[in-house]
Amino acid sequence: MSEYVRLTYVHSSVGNSYFHKRTIRALGFRKLHQSRVVVDCPSLRGMLKNVAHLVTVEPAEAPAEPNFGVGK
């Protein structure tokens, strides 16, 4: 298993529960078709379990520059 995964927000959260919308925001997504490379960890897997129908997950290499969610 890769240490990093690429998440892509592919389906809108409109019509889904408040908790699904908040999980999408917690993952750092603001717009559809946005991608992020994040560290694969158990807490991330738990979040993805809730919104698996809204995102795609694929293995990824380490990002060129770290994305800590500040200013992005």
Give the number of other Cβ atoms within 10 Å of residue 7's Cβ. 23
Calpha distance 54→27 (Å, rounded): 12
pLDDT in tens, 46-63: 999 999 999 999 998 887
Calpha distance 40→1 (Å, rounded): 9
Structural domains of the chain, with CATH: 4-60 (3.30.1390.20)
For the chain, the 3-state helix, strand and coil shares in percent, each to the nearest 5, are 25, 25, 50
pLDDT in tens, 9-32: 999 999 999 999 999 999 999 999
CB contact at 8 A, 34 and 9: yes
How high is the pLDDT of residue 61?
87
* pLDDT over threshold 80, residue 8: yes
How high is the pLDDT of residue 64?
73
* pLDDT over threshold 90, residue 44: yes
